[in-house]
Amino acid sequence: MPVERKDFRDAMAQLPAAVNVITTDGAGGKGGFTASAVCSVTDSPATLLVCMNRTVSSAEAFRANGVLCVNTLSAAQEEVSNVFAGMTGVDGPARFETGSWGRLVTGAPVLEGALVACDARITDILEKGTHLVLFAEVEAVRLGAGEAAALLYFRRGYCPLSRAA
């Protein structure tokens, strides 16, 4: 029998994860959400996997636009995470009033000051339980400058992580 939902969520809270804001823009509109379920799939072709709850307000925009950008946040960008996680009451394109945004190749918004931004085209969408699993081939990467601390999510809270010298 499968493990209980609460037990599984409690177990996953023990796995530290990078905090990312996933964005899109195009004919389907501008949108974004905060995600910790992001990982590399393969480097040839460079492909990422992003898990998105089906209830995300911009889910249809991601489908329609076919593009996304994974913006991995620095510890200084906690406010951006909260806005895109829906914790502040701000929704839709108004979320992009927090932070400074640019573009790379696909037109998906790229967060200035992110540790890394991976601009990608969605190639496949898998439906599993409460989530959509987006597979996206990376077309451009922008690495952040400097030695900024990463923003992690661990035990249901934010934690900064910096590399010791």
Instruction: Say whether 14 sits in a helix, a strand or coil.
Output: coil
Q: Which of the listed CATH numbers 3.40.50.720, 3.40.190.80, 2.30.110.10, 2.60.120.280 matches domain 5-155?
A: 2.30.110.10
For the cut 80, the answer to whether the pLDDT of residue 164 exceeds it is: no
CA angle 80, 145, 94 (to 5 degrees): 20
Rounded Cα–Cα distance for residues 161 and 108 (Å) = 27
Q: Give the N- to C-terminal CA distance of the chain in Å, as an integer.
A: 46
Question: For residue 118, what are the β-bridge partners?
Answer: 70, 141
* pTM reported for the whole predicted model: 0.95
Give the per-residue pLDDT at 165: 52
The per-residue pLDDT for range 99-140, each reduced to its tens digit, is 999 999 999 999 999 999 999 999 999 999 999 999 999 999
Q: Give the model's confidence band at 43: pLDDT under 50 very low, under 70 low, under 90 confident, else very high.
A: very high
Rounded Cα–Cα distance for residues 120 and 102 (Å) = 15
Give the per-residue pLDDT at 158: 96
- What is the average pLDDT across 53-75? 96
Rounded Cα–Cα distance for residues 16 and 155 (Å) = 8
Q: Give the model's confidence band at 56: pLDDT under 50 very low, under 70 low, under 90 confident, else very high.
A: very high
